[in-house]
Structure 1
Amino acid sequence: MDLSGPRWKGRGFAEIANSNPMSRVVLQLQTALSQSGTAAFLAGNNALLRAEPEIANLLSRAAFGREVINSGTDNQIFQLGPEEAFYLSHSLKCLKITRDSDDTPPSENELWAYLKSKNEAFPESYMAYKHLRSKNWVVKPGIQYGVDFVAYRHHPALVHSEYAVIVVREGDRNSRLSSMTDLYCTLRACGSVAKTLLKLSIRCCGVNGSMRDSPDCLEDFDVDERTITRFIPAQSREDRDLDEVAMEFGEKV
């Protein structure tokens, strides 16, 4: 990944981020959720979590989900996207997820099947989310920019997102960026909002990956990162005139 300088939203925000690394905040959230036994329940393609003040604060600081209900009581309702919910449940193993109708948590395979039934591309989408989150990037939906995700170096309140992320399943000829028109339009859109286009190609390297019917397939997935930028001649040419060049070489033009 191209780690160009972040665009902080205010003076002193870089220092705030450096003193509160995202890895530490996520670890605090993981510990608090594990100790509290907090559970979320499935609601369509998302999961809803009733959070006590400490958990709500850590969810906000770690940039997981969004608050949808604050009734003024001690508990707040957070909505987690499918990738966020499964990451907390499967990767961090700190969140229980139950069904709408009862308190019996589905098995990991049942939860995977449920989320995949809502979105056939969930395995690749989740792998991309997990890949970025494991590198301590904050990952949020990118629908407002016409991409799958946007990636932030730290909390979105402190810094602008640096990457607009497109997730591509290897071998899918109908995927995003498969045509030059789509590629060019996406690059123009990313350039207009000062983001670098990051293409994450999810490759299958084993039998389980091709099946995609359980979380075991994740072990056979590989992620290829590619940043794509638009060539702008004006930014690449030398701005010196011929006389200046001639003087450098002791010649006349």
Structure 2
Amino acid sequence: MRPRWKGKGAEAKALADPMSEIVSQLQSSLLQSNACALLSGCSVLLAVETEQTELLTRACFDNFVKNDVDLWLYMKLKKEKFPDFYKAYSHLRMKNWVLRPGLQYDVDFVAYRHHPSMVHSEYVVIVLSEEGDAGRLRVWSDFHCTIRLCGSVAKTLLMLNVDKNGHGAISPSCLERYSVEECTITRWSPEQSRNDQKTSENGVN
């Protein structure tokens, strides 16, 4: 079956600039530039140069993000609480901590104070916002289960409460006005407490 061309001249244009050639040029350009991309759900965020932007547009690979505001709006569209999560993420990155997704432990992040190749993650991180987080840590049993999990994998629960201080989330500049409050929660162990007390007494004697 022959293609059903849309409009006069469409066939000539397609044959003069075939899709296979465009994709080949794009692949070659991306390889040469060592391009990196961020996977976001079913979408890929790719940082490209002018030539690659043109090739992507010609190849019909979605729309390109023009600036940081466009990227901000795109991420908010993908994840409603992206501003809170990004503020929490950047807060810990400012400490030079390494963060990775915490899906394995049903939390937002796991955090490393040293290189992940050298140590296991020390913290499981939960991000809370002033809008409330329905279904998360609503009752004491939720805390208890999470803390027990942390104890079983030798990690500390770190809760980050993001306060917008009355500011919205219109643009990335709003992040500068947000504040983050840290709270670490650990499980109290009577046996460990007794051992610590004995060690302290022996040290005094």
Letter in 2 for 1:185: C
Structure 1 pair 42/162, CA: closer, same or farther in 2 (3 Å)?
A: closer
Matched, 1:172 2:137: no
Counterpart of 1:113 (choices 57, 73, 77) is: 73
1:188 matched residue in structure 2? 148
Residues 145, 223 of structure 1: CA spacing in aligned structure 2 closer, same or farther, 3 A cutoff? Answer: same
How large is the RMSD of aligned CA atoms in angstroms?
3.1
With CA pairs under 8 Å and 6+ residues apart, which has the higher RCO, 1 or 2? 1
SS at match of 2:157: strand
Question: Structure 1 regions of 5+ residues with no counterpart?
Answer: 1-35, 50-94, 249-253
CA distance in 2, matches of 1:142, 1:126: 15
Does residue 198 (structure 1) correspond to residue 155 (structure 2)? The answer is no
Q: 2:180 aligns with which of 223, 226, 229?
A: 223
Structure-1-length-normalised TM-score: 0.55
* % identical equivalent positions: 50
For residue 120 of structure 1, report the CA deviation from its aligned partner: 0.7
Unaligned runs of 5+ in 2: 1-31
Q: Which residue in the other structure is 2:85 paired with?
A: 125
Structure whose CA Rg is larger: 2
SS at match of 2:74: helix
What is the 5 A alignment of 1:89-108?
101=61, 104-108=64-68
Distance 1:177 1:117, change over 3 A: same
- The count of residues paired between Structure 1 and Structure 2 equals 160
SS in 1 for 2:173: helix
* Contact 1:96–1:105 under 8 Å retained in 2: no
Q: In the alignment, which residue of structure 2 is the partner of 1:137? A: 97
Matched to 1:227, the amino acid is T
Per-residue deviation, 1:189:
0.7
Letter in 2 for 1:230: R
For residues 1-253 of structure 1, the aligned pairs below 5 Å read 39-40=35-36, 44-45=40-41, 47=44, 101=61, 104-172=64-132, 174=134, 176-207=136-167, 211-237=168-194
Letter in 2 for 1:113: L
Alpha-carbon deviation of 1:126?
0.8
Query: What is the TM-score normalised by the length of structure 2?
Result: 0.66
